[in-house]
Amino acid sequence: MIKFTEFISEALTVQQRQKRSLVARRTARIRATKRKLKSRKRKPESELKVKARRAARKKIMQRYVGGKDFSKLPPSAKQQLEKMVDKKQKSLEKIALRLLPVVRKDEGVRLSKISKKKPAKVGKSSIRISGLDAY
């Protein structure tokens, strides 16, 4: 399977876009099913670490931005902010390490919510057709 970085490395022609669109449409149900199944499982430790790093990065950005919304900043300011955060790798790693237990706990909460929302199974005995109860 093609990795995302390889997928976006070059500009696509119109024909390539159309072909990828067709492939995406054809495999949409399979991908949706896999996504749903994967959402019910516990994320591996590597994904939790990535999530903690993202949260740490967001926290550092909030320090620099103050109370402003990051998404409303102009692109040049975002680029400058990204460079500033890239220079803070050591503190980013420390914050990510401190956030890891919180991310693990959130993952447990997420899984417990999913397990509580299990839909009731519909079996043959639970289906009743009106008018056929006498038979």
Output 125 or 43, whichever has higher pLDDT.
Answer: 43
Query: Over 90: is that where the pLDDT of 115 sits?
Result: no
The reported pLDDT for the residue numbered 2 is 64
23-53, pLDDT tens digit by residue?
A: 999 999 999 999 999 999 999 999 999 999 9
Question: Which pLDDT value is given to residue 125?
Answer: 53
Contacts of 70 (CB under 8 A, 6+ apart): 61, 62, 78, 81
Element containing residue 39 per DSSP (H, E): helix 28-39
28 versus 70: which is more confidently predicted? 28
- Distance of alpha carbon 71 from alpha carbon 91, whole angstroms: 23
Check: pTM over 0.75? Answer yes or no: no
| pLDDT on residue 135 | 46
Question: HSE of 106 in the Cβ direction (CA atoms, 13 Å)?
Answer: 10
pLDDT given at position 121: 60
